[in-house]
Structure 1
Amino acid sequence: METLNDQVVDYLRYIQIERGLSVNTIKSYRQDLRHFLLYLSTQKITPQQIDYLVILDWLNHLKTKGASTSSVAHMVSTLRKFFAYLQAENVLSHNPMDKVKPPKKAATLPAVLTIDEIDQLFQAPVVTSPLGLRNRTLLEVMYASGLRVSELTNLKMGDLHLDLGLIQTLGKGDKERIIPIGDLAMDWLKQYFAKSRPQLLKKGESDYVFLNDHGRQLSRQGVWKIIKKLVLLAGINKDISPHTLRHSFATHLLENGADLRIVQELLGHSDISTTQIYTHISKKHLSQVYDEFHPRA
């Protein structure tokens, strides 16, 4: 008889092969389910004992451990899909998630850098060193293109068409899109290819554009650490992540008159409602500017 752990393995295989979900999505589901199984084990709860009260206790346990509302909501979503799969496979006769509602998320807008803060951040890397030049280049590319961090780290040499000023990338759901890249970012890429990348590569080989100090593909965590360090060096007091450059890219385009559907296309959003959050950020910025500079505000 299959254990719950076996069923998790089956489910992850199913969403990979049958559903074709991305590697990062599967990784996040695996992590959620592993934590849930560990909790069941420590509480000595058998699969037959799992009901909505067990789930509520688990979610409450996460909250007491300091999990954010979004993390708890993600866990609810993961468990809902997992138990729906088990029900569809006739492993369960009922879904213990039926009575469980996700926590309400507070309506928060993502952090965005001002133009001055972008300049501050971009001045932080010491570009006379190979790693400093790489760091400045990846900042320039992220801000010039609005790439997700996974798209940046998976960028390969063949994806760059600098003679045309374009980058080719695979986004969520393996959707391909072509993104223009400005002259400044292209100039930094050329410097990086001429001076820094060969030193990082040493005598090895790699198709990836951005490399770590061992000459291998730079990881998502690597980009996160780089940006956190540079934000600190730049003296910017905001909660900044790699995604902040993508938010800033979209917001600055809209503030300067770009059409919402063009921004949607550049970001690779399948639904324009996802892109519309940036219009709220833009309006908030306009209100702040008005309050600061209008004589009768």
Structure 2
Amino acid sequence: MKLPVSATVEFAHQYRDAVNQYFEEIFARLPKNTQRAYMSDFNEFVIFCEQASLPGFNTSFENNEQCIKQYVEVLCQSPLAYRTIKRRLSALSKFLRIARLPNPIIHSVYLKDFVKLALKENEKFQFSRHQAVPLTIDLLEKINDTVIPDTLLEMRDLTLINLMFDALLRADEVVRVCVEDIDKRNSALLVLTSKNDQSGKGQYRYISPSTIAMVDEYIAMANMHPSRGVERDASDQRRLNKGILFRRLSNKGHALLPYDEGISGNHAVRLEYSSIYRIWKRIAALAGVKENITPHSGRVGAAVSLAENGATLPEMQLAGGWRSAQMPGHYGQQAAVTKGGMAKLSTHRGR
């Protein structure tokens, strides 16, 4: 695995080894989407440094601080959204920690305040105007009432969307769900990998009986030979017994791709974000949903639905695995708009 930097950037000897070791031993094992994001974000910084005739990162705290300050000025003048800018800074901070270089993003009070003020002055709001359209429970019920799965592909897709809604799953969480993670007795899903779960202990999320029934039906369809009408043999690697739940399918969408469940760490059948995105678009088309729903719509919509039905902030935090009340509080505020004073006035006066 090569470092995601241009050939013109020279690494000092004292931190080249640390960077190479990380990219050889860790980077290649990260999800492909994460790899691409890190490579893209860091290369954007490299290109900026080249164009601005800046030296890039080195062992000088002051140099690194000035490079990032000038980079932030350019980012704030661009059409990039708040979250994109923060993600790029996070990627740079990650690289500085890997390279064991002075990190002003973390340790410079001056830079922190500068970034905060620059974002504010350039009207980079924390919550984008183009957030995912919420898939509320009403919209989900419309989908479930409309889409009657005829193929394994449709059954997989519908089950995945319902599970993402119930457990407020992100795309990178649902692709890792295994059969063994579902506790039918307690209506719970163990989410073993989450960006908010730094301890690695996992988090339990609720899943409804209807979603559990969909999972059972999906597995039953996967284990049935479509042309013969009989259950697949126990040795058939297209069976779904354990391991990754949502797998890749054959071109015709009638069977899972062969997968050796005995091989640990085999990610060949794991879906990527692009696959999850297409699943959401397929289901939306089948259900006649005109809203632009995306893989994040389930998590957002579930949070909004919880707030609309009177869930408290702690209850919302637990349901979605949030570490703080900031995001569920935002969704609660969004849900409360239709119950506010102006909404009541409009209803009272028939507006």
TM-score range, shorter chain: 0.7 to 0.9
Specify the alignment match of 2:178 in structure 1.
156
Q: Following TM superposition, by how much is the alpha carbon of 1:199 offset from its aligned partner in structure 2, in angstroms? A: 6.2
Q: Following TM superposition, by how much is the alpha carbon of 1:74 offset from its aligned partner in structure 2, in angstroms? A: 2.1
2:17 & 2:71 partners in 1: Cα distance? Answer: 21
Q: Following TM superposition, by how much is the alpha carbon of 1:165 offset from its aligned partner in structure 2, in angstroms? A: 1.9
Specify the alignment match of 1:68 in structure 2.
81
Q: Following TM superposition, by how much is the alpha carbon of 1:286 offset from its aligned partner in structure 2, in angstroms? A: 2.2
3-state DSSP class of the match of 1:150? Answer: helix
Report matched runs for 1:105-254 at 5 Å.
Answer: 105-106=124-125, 108=127, 110=131, 111-123=133-145, 125=147, 127-170=149-192, 171-172=194-195, 173=198, 174-196=200-222, 203-204=237-238, 207-214=243-250, 215=257, 216-254=269-307
Q: Following TM superposition, by how much is the alpha carbon of 1:129 offset from its aligned partner in structure 2, in angstroms? A: 0.8
Report matched runs for 1:23-38 at 5 Å.
Answer: 28-38=37-47
Q: Following TM superposition, by how much is the alpha carbon of 1:210 offset from its aligned partner in structure 2, in angstroms? A: 0.5
Q: Which moved more, 1:257-266 or 1:129-138?
A: 257-266
Give a deviation string over 1:44-64, Cα, whole Å, max 9, x none: 654489676755665566678
Q: Following TM superposition, by how much is the alpha carbon of 1:193 offset from its aligned partner in structure 2, in angstroms? A: 0.7
Q: Which structure features the higher share of helix residues? A: 1
Q: Following TM superposition, by how much is the alpha carbon of 1:135 offset from its aligned partner in structure 2, in angstroms? A: 0.6
Q: Can you give the 5+ residue segments of structure 2 that lack an aligned partner in the other structure?
A: 1-8, 227-231, 251-256, 258-268
Report matched runs for 1:69-88 at 5 Å.
Answer: 69-80=82-93, 82-83=95-96, 88=101
**Does the 8 Å contact 1:227/1:241 carry over to 2?**
yes
Residues 230 and 88 of structure 1, relative CA distance in 2, 3 Å threshold: same
- Does residue 10 (structure 1) correspond to residue 18 (structure 2)? The answer is yes
- Does residue 98 (structure 1) correspond to residue 111 (structure 2)? The answer is yes
Q: Which moved more, 1:77-86 or 1:131-140?
A: 77-86
Residues 250 and 114 of structure 1, relative CA distance in 2, 3 Å threshold: closer
1:185 & 1:48 partners in 2: Cα distance? Answer: 49
**Does the 8 Å contact 2:69/2:111 carry over to 1?**
no
Q: Following TM superposition, by how much is the alpha carbon of 1:83 offset from its aligned partner in structure 2, in angstroms? A: 4.8
Residues 74 and 164 of structure 1, relative CA distance in 2, 3 Å threshold: closer
**Does the 8 Å contact 1:130/1:199 carry over to 2?**
no
Q: Following TM superposition, by how much is the alpha carbon of 1:270 offset from its aligned partner in structure 2, in angstroms? A: 1.7
1:9 & 1:204 partners in 2: Cα distance? Answer: 43
**Does the 8 Å contact 2:136/2:298 carry over to 1?**
no
Residues 163 and 98 of structure 1, relative CA distance in 2, 3 Å threshold: closer
Matched residue type, 1:144? D
Residues 107 and 40 of structure 1, relative CA distance in 2, 3 Å threshold: closer
1:112 & 1:144 partners in 2: Cα distance? Answer: 13
Give a deviation string over 1:178-233, Cα, whole Å, max 9, x none: 22211110111111010136669973476101012153122222111211333345
3-state DSSP class of the match of 1:212? Answer: coil
3-state DSSP class of the match of 1:101? Answer: helix
Give a deviation string over 1:213-265, Cα, whole Å, max 9, x none: 15312222211121133334544444422121111112212222223212211
Residues 290 and 119 of structure 1, relative CA distance in 2, 3 Å threshold: farther
3-state DSSP class of the match of 1:224? Answer: helix
- Does residue 282 (structure 1) correspond to residue 335 (structure 2)? The answer is yes
2:186 & 2:97 partners in 1: Cα distance? Answer: 47
3-state DSSP class of the match of 1:250? Answer: helix
**Does the 8 Å contact 1:197/1:211 carry over to 2?**
no
TM-score, length of structure 1 as denominator length: 0.76
1:80 & 1:53 partners in 2: Cα distance? Answer: 14
**Does the 8 Å contact 2:64/2:102 carry over to 1?**
no
- Alignment root-mean-square deviation, CA: 4.1
Residues 281 and 33 of structure 1, relative CA distance in 2, 3 Å threshold: same
Share of identical aligned residues, percent?
Answer: 20
1:55 & 1:203 partners in 2: Cα distance? Answer: 51
1:252 & 1:12 partners in 2: Cα distance? Answer: 46
